[in-house]
Structure formats: structure tokens, C-alpha cells
Amino acid sequence: MVKTKFVTQSDMKIGLIGDEDTVTGMLLAGIGHVDGQGKKNFLVVDSKVHIKDIEEHFHELTARKDISMILITQDCAELIRRAVDEFSHSAQMIPTVLEIPSKDTPYDPRKDGVMQRVAFFMPSAMASLGVEI
Amino acid sequence: MSQAGGQKPAANRMTLQTFKARLGGASKGFKLLKKKRDALKAKFQALLKEIVDTKLKVGEGLKDGAFSLAKAHYASSGDDIASTVIERAKRPSITTKLYPDNVAGVSIPLFKMSYDASKDSSAQTLGVACGGAVINAARETYRKAVVSLVKLASLQTAFHTLDEEIKMTSRRVNALEYVLIPRIEDIIHYITQEMDEQAREEFFRVKKVGRGCASSSSPSLKTEVVEKKKVKLQKEKDEMAAAGKRTEAAIDAPSMLATKKDEDLIF
């Protein structure tokens, strides 16, 4: 019987992978964190960043114990779709991966792994999301 | 639990009681698990609707945020606030707490956001030159967006955890219903059958032996009893052979009741 007991943990950070504007906004709000070794909990993805780097940073964030959730814009998620899907199907609950829309690309619920699962149980979900957003 | 297929337990009252107790335990557990699965499914359905709603809100929040950020960019014309913000990020003023919550016996994680204004110092001096108000407005909008994002993250983890738990509980319910309980019922049926047969045999044996003793102990009657015993033993042997057990050598030993003339002891 796999019973994972969750221990109360405070002071957990929010990871972030996105384009410059999203990261700026979020950092303005105050989720940015740089620790003693210069490790950041965010990554600005522009045209110069390699996909390998994004994937590496994603894996780093998922491995960290003090990160409760990872925000990733949908176009970045598309770039590392394989890694994101692999993580979503693993048994690891923390950190949660959240796909957020970015300024350039509107939110497409069909590509979001979680929404696919939701639509499986509630077929009207896609309609309400696909039509409204 | 019942051993590898074929080996049947001894057919006596004690084993019958044991297996009846097991059946009772299994059926009770089955009912409880079904209830748990139904409760989880109901919670799950409620979650779905909430997730869709929160996702919409998040979309809205981020749209507003992007809009206010554009305004801030416009206001602080010339200065590039983006790089400054990114440079200055040191300690987060927004952190999350992880709480385990209990839903129908399942422990699901929940996130709670805590905002500490005192750690906000890194970005305070941003808009001093120009556009300070717009920058603050942008900050507020994004903060609101983060609130709904944290809520969405909580819902998502709950969703995943419940999904897994429902799958596992369903598996157990099905296993009980289609494998374990029929097996136990089978065994109980077999034991009761065997016990009935034994009772019948005993009754028959007593009748026959009683009749044999009442009349003269003629060899013919004795042979009758012996034949009947031999038939019964043969039946038992066949049964056990069918069940895969090896027949014991003792059965092949000559019966003491055989009408064999003993050699006279001559000293």
C-alpha cells in the first residue's frame, strides 16, 4: 500500500520558467529567489537559450525539495514537452507543474496534460475553456 | 490464504469456521472499500469543476498582469525595468506552505500562500524616477494572479492524488469482488460438501458394522463389510489422486480385516 504522508513544510518557493515579460511580472510580485550559490528559482527563456538548458533547469527545479510548484509558460512547455509529460506521469506530487499562458500565445487547453485528464472525466470542460479563452 | 491451486484444506468444523470468518472479514472490507471509492469519486467530480473555474481566473489574472506590465514599460520609457527586476531578485516575499489535508481518509497536499511585505525591498526603489505608481499597480496585479495560481496548484495536486487513490481503491474493490470472495466461497462449499459426505459414510458404516455384529460373525458378512470398506478407500484414493495428492503407501497395505488365514504358530 503506497501511503505517502505529506509533512507540513513552510517557506517553499515558486519556480518559474518563462519568457522575459512573464518572469519580470512574477519577480515584481516577489517570487524570485537567489540562494547563496547563485541558484535561481526562475529562468528567462528567450531565443538564445538552448532547449537542453531549459530541460536541465526544469529537472533541477523538480529535484529541489524546497520548491512547491513550477510555473511554466505554455510555449516553453511545448519546447520541453517530453520532460514535462514524463514528470506529470511520475508518482511525484511535489512540485506541481502549472502551465500558464504567455503574452504571445493564448492558452490552449488541448496541450495541457492536466486539462486532458479533466476533459476525460468532464467533457464539457474543454468547451468552457476552449470557447471562452 | 488458499494455497497454490489444487491443495484443499482438511474438511472439518474448525477449518469451516476459519473460512467463514475470513469470508465475513472480506465482505465487510469490500463494503467499506466501496464506500470509500464512492466518496472519493464524489470529491473528485467536485474538484473538476473548481479546476476549470480557477484555470479561467488564472488566465484572466495573467492577462491583466501582462497589460499592467505593458503600461509600466510604457511609463518608464527609456529605462528597462525588466533587467533591473531580474537583477535585484534576492529573497522572495511570496512563499508557500505545504499542508496535508485529509479527504475521506486520503492525505492530499494543499498549498497556502504567505506574503511577507518586509522582504519586498528589492524592487521598492524601481519607480523612483518615473512611473512608480504604474509599477506598483503592476506588482499588485501580478500578486493577485499568484494568489489564484497557488490555489490552482493546490487543486491540481489534489486532483492527481485523488486520481491515483481512486485507481488503487477500485483495483482492490474489484480484486475482492471477483477473485478473493468467490475463492473463499468455493472453499466453504467444498468443506461443507466433504463434511456431509463424511457424515453419510459414518452413518452408513455404523449401520453396516452394527448389522454385521448383531448376526453371526460369518465370513460372508465380514467380506461384505470389507468390500464396502475397500470401495470407500478406493473412492478416497481416487479423490486424492484427482486432487493431486500422492496416495499414501499405507492405503496399499493389506487390511487387517482381510480373510487371510494366519499361519499357525508351531513351536
Residue A83 in domain: yes
Determine the distance in angstroms separating the CA of B29 from the nearest CA of chain A, rounded to an integer. 15
Whether residue A94 is predicted with pLDDT greater than 50 in this model: the reply is: yes
The DSSP H or E segment spanning A16 is strand A9-18
A101–B59: do the CB atoms touch at under 8 Å? yes
Annotate B3-54 with DSSP letters as a single string.
-STT-PPP-SHHHHHHHHHHHHHHHHHHHHHHHHHHHHHHHHHHHHHHHHHH
Contact residues on chain B for A10, CB-CB shorter than 8 A: 95, 97-98, 114
Whether residue B22 is predicted with pLDDT greater than 90 in this model: the reply is: yes
Q: Say whether residue A131 is in contact with chain B using an 8 A CB cutoff.
A: no
A119 in Cβ contact with A109 (< 8 Å): yes
Give the Cα separation of B145 and A79 in Å (integer).
24
Q: What is the pLDDT of residue B204?
A: 92
Give the Cα separation of B186 and B179 in Å (integer).
11
Residue A94 in domain: yes
Q: Using CB atoms, pick whichever of B58, B62, B89 lies closest to residue A33.
A: B89
Across B104-116, average pLDDT: 83
Q: How confident is the model at residue B177 (pLDDT cuts 50, 70, 90)?
A: very high
**Which CATH number does the domain housing residue A26 bear?**
3.40.50.10580
Residue of A nearest to B158 (CA): A93
Q: Which of A86-90, A129-133, B36-40, B77-81 has the lowest mean pLDDT?
A: A129-133
Q: What is the pLDDT of residue B130?
A: 67
Residue A125 in domain: no
pTM: 0.72
Tell which wins on pLDDT, A124 or B69.
B69
Residue A1 in domain: no
Q: What is the overall mean pLDDT for chain B?
A: 80
Q: What is the pLDDT of residues B210-245, one digit of tens each?
A: 888 776 555 565 667 677 777 777 787 777 666 654
Tell which wins on pLDDT, B61 or B224.
B61
A133–B82: do the CB atoms touch at under 8 Å? no
Q: Say whether residue A126 is in contact with chain B using an 8 A CB cutoff.
A: no
Across A62-80, average pLDDT: 86
Q: Using CB atoms, pick whichever of A5, A10, A132 lies closest to residue B100.
A: A5
Residue A66 in domain: yes
B86–A24: do the CB atoms touch at under 8 Å? yes
Contact residues on chain B for A100, CB-CB shorter than 8 A: 58, 62, 149
Q: What is the pLDDT of residue B243?
A: 62
Mutate to test the interface with A, among B33, B80, B156 (most CBs of A within 10 A): B156
Question: What total number of domains does chain A contain?
Answer: 1
Q: Say whether residue A117 is in contact with chain B using an 8 A CB cutoff.
A: yes
Q: What is the overall mean pLDDT for chain A?
A: 80
Q: What is the pLDDT of residue A25?
A: 83
Q: How confident is the model at residue B4 (pLDDT cuts 50, 70, 90)?
A: very low
Q: How confident is the model at residue B200 (pLDDT cuts 50, 70, 90)?
A: very high
Whether residue A70 is predicted with pLDDT greater than 70 in this model: the reply is: yes
Winning range, highest mean pLDDT, from B78-87, B150-159, B191-200, B231-240: B191-200
Q: Say whether residue A7 is in contact with chain B using an 8 A CB cutoff.
A: yes
Whether residue B79 is predicted with pLDDT greater than 80 in this model: the reply is: no
Residue A96 in domain: yes
A45 in Cβ contact with A21 (< 8 Å): no
Residue A42 in domain: yes
Q: Using CB atoms, pick whichever of A33, A100, A114 lies closest to residue B92.
A: A33
Give the Cα separation of B206 and B229 in Å (integer).
12
> What is residue A33's three-state secondary structure?
coil
- Please, what's the b/e burial string for B167-194 (b: 16 or more CB within 10 A of its CB; e: otherwise)? ebbeebbeebeeebbebbeebbeebeeb
Question: Residue holding cell 490555489?
Answer: B151
Determine the distance in angstroms separating the CA of B200 from the nearest CA of chain A, rounded to an integer. 47
**Amino acid letter, residue A25:** G
Q: What is the pLDDT of residue A62?
A: 87
- Window 45-104 of A: residues touching B by CB (8 A cutoff) are 68-69, 71, 91, 93-94, 96, 98, 100-101, 103
Residue A127 in domain: no
B92–A31: do the CB atoms touch at under 8 Å? yes
A98–B149: do the CB atoms touch at under 8 Å? yes
A2–B120: do the CB atoms touch at under 8 Å? no
Q: What is the pLDDT of residue B78?
A: 58
Tell which wins on pLDDT, B95 or B250.
B95
Boundaries of domain holding A61: 13-103
Q: How confident is the model at residue B31 (pLDDT cuts 50, 70, 90)?
A: very high
